[in-house]
């Protein structure tokens, strides 16, 4: 039976040029019902009676909130409602959502398919979630193979160049191979300048990584994110599925563990809405087309130069770390890893020290072997005195 709100929706859709059968499908009624309402120019008027109570009524506010967040998948909404006590069917939920789909924002674009092993699309997004009980802004990088739609997701607290490189390296390792091309947005982490005419200037470290892994870097056209629409849609899929189901995490590491588990148990076994094939089955066919991983890993650490003090220490992030004393007064390269490691190399690229980063409140970080020659040299110049000298002074 049509309600007054349904009749208003019919009028709006007719003004937009919609067909009666399409309107009927959206409302979940017959075409004749819509036709009669149009001829009557009003919703049907029945005898007033006791209003029918639906199992869905207590959850309407939650449903509308999810729709406002652009979550339209009925199964995802169903899981969320069931966790709050909903015992009704998914068909009842679909009937409620159907007439509202006309309000769903959309943008038409031409779909471009890529052959297996050809391309990986990469993009960053952000949202707030609870980590260790704290409301935290989290950045997550989605790397998706253009052919099979297999993807890898990595969450971090920053989306600078080094975290971008780390996310891509982890994706290569997760897939077990490297695509021929990596398509990125015009983020400064990868693209320094992208003029509408002329050559693109990529970040030098990004070019180093491309050479290391043997892929060709490619950037989207400026102001046209549809160029990498596949991964844009996967960012929406992630927000509308994973972060609806999982909303609290013990740590950033726990978040990444949950992401990989969700990829293997839900995202990869699903039938993709565009290809109409199971993602993990398509990936099995795409894998042989990926290039083999090299024997070593690209170093995504921050690389900086420091001058060693005359006491054999260097300053890093507000604390001091020991290096071999023979480097006192010389310059060294420091590699600050994203996982809290500190490695030091001399200017001939030979490793000379390794530490774990610590807050300055914990004190200087010392490797006793670094300064042993310095102490031996110093002790050799100290005059030894017998105890009798001090006894004479008493």
Q: Residue 96, CB half-sphere, CA atoms under 13 Å: how many?
A: 21
167 and 316 share a domain? Answer: no
309 and 183 share a domain? Answer: no
In this predicted model, which residue has the larger pLDDT, 372 or 214? 214
Q: If you average pLDDT over every residue of the chain, what do you get?
A: 83
pLDDT value of position 211: 95
Give the residue numbers spanning the domain of 163: 119-289
- pLDDT-derived band at 199, boundaries 50, 70, 90: confident
179 and 81 share a domain? Answer: no
pLDDT value of position 175: 96
Q: Residue 330, CB half-sphere, CA atoms under 13 Å: how many?
A: 15
Range of lowest pLDDT (99-108, 178-187, 216-225):
99-108
Helix (H) or strand (E) holding 284: helix 279-286
Contacts of 213 (CB under 8 A, 6+ apart): 172, 178, 291, 294, 298
pLDDT value of position 293: 96
Q: What is the rounded CA–CA span in Å between residue 268 and residue 262?
A: 9
Q: Is the pTM of this model over 0.85?
A: no
- Rounded to the nearest 5 degrees, what angle is found at the Cα of 317, between the Cα atoms of 373 and 207? 100
Q: How far is CA 332 from CA 25, 165, 303, 324, 356, in A?
A: 70, 23, 10, 11, 17
Q: What is the rounded CA–CA span in Å between residue 237 and residue 230?
A: 10
Q: Residues of the chain with pLDDT > 70: what percent? A: 81
Helix (H, G, I), strand (E, B) or coil at 198: coil
97 and 233 share a domain? Answer: no
Nearest CA among 291, 350, 288, 362 for reference residue 324: 350
- pLDDT-derived band at 108, boundaries 50, 70, 90: very low
- Cα dihedral 357/362/363/364 (nearest 10): -20
14 and 48 share a domain? Answer: yes
Q: What is the rounded CA–CA span in Å between residue 333 and residue 307?
A: 9
202 and 257 share a domain? Answer: yes
53 and 180 share a domain? Answer: no
pLDDT value of position 16: 67
Query: What's the total number of domains in the chain?
Result: 3
143 and 276 share a domain? Answer: yes
Q: What is the rounded CA–CA span in Å between residue 168 and residue 186?
A: 16
Strands in 341-345's sheet, in edge-to-edge order, are 302-307, 331-336, 341-345, 351-356
- pLDDT-derived band at 174, boundaries 50, 70, 90: very high
In this predicted model, which residue has the larger pLDDT, 49 or 167? 167
255 and 323 share a domain? Answer: no
DSSP conformation letters of 221-273: PTT-GGGGHHHHHHHHHHHHHHHHH--EESSHHHHHHHHHHHIIIIITTSBPT
- What would the pLDDT profile of 271-311 be if each residue is shown by its tens digit? 887 778 899 999 999 999 999 999 999 999 999 999 999 88
Has residue 361 been placed in a domain?
yes
- What would the pLDDT profile of 203-213 be if each residue is shown by its tens digit? 889 999 999 99
């Amino acid at each position: 039976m049509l309600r007054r709100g349904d009749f208003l929706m019919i009028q709006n859709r007719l003004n937009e040029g919609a067909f009666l059968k399409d309107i009927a499908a959206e409302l979940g009624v017959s075409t004749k019902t819509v036709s009669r309402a149009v001829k009557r120019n009003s919703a049907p008027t029945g005898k007033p009676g006791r209003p029918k109570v639906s199992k869905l009524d207590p959850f309407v506010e939650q449903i509308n909130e999810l729709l406002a967040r652009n979550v339209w998948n009925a199964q995802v909404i169903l899981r969320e409602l069931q966790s709050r006590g909903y015992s009704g069917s998914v068909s009842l939920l679909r009937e409620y959502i159907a007439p509202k789909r006309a309000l769903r924002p959309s943008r038409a674009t031409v779909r471009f398919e890529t052959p297996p092993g050809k391309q990986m699309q990469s993009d960053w997004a952000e949202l707030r979630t609870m980590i260790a009980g704290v409301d935290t802004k989290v950045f997550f990088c989605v790397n998706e193979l253009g052919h099979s739609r297999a993807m890898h997701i990595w969450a971090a607290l920053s989306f600078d160049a080094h975290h971008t490189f780390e996310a891509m390296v982890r994706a290569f390792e997760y897939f077990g191979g490297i695509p021929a091309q990596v398509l990125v947005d015009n983020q400064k982490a990868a693209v320094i300048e992208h003029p509408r005419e002329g050559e693109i200037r990529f970040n030098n470290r990004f070019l180093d990584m491309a050479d290391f892994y043997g892929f060709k870097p490619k950037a989207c056209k400026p102001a046209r994110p549809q160029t990498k629409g596949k991964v844009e849609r996967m960012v929406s899929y992630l927000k509308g599925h994973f972060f609806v189901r999982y909303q609290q995490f013990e740590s950033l590491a726990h978040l990444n563990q949950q992401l990989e588990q969700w990829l293997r148990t839900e995202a990869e076994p699903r039938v993709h809405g565009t290809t109409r094939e199971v993602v993990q089955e398509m990936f099995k066919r795409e894998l042989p087309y990926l290039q083999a991983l090299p024997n070593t890993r690209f170093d995504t650490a921050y690389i900086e130069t420091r001058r060693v003090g005359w006491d054999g220490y260097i300053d890093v992030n507000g604390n001091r770390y020991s290096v071999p004393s023979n480097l006192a007064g010389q310059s060294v390269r420091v590699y600050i890893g994203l996982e809290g490691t500190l490695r030091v190399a001399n200017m001939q690229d030979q490793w000379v020290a390794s530490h774990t980063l610590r807050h300055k409140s914990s004190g200087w970080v010392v490797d006793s072997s670094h300064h042993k020659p310095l102490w031996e040299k110093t002790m050799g110049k100290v005059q030894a005195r017998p105890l009798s000298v001090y006894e004479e002074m008493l």
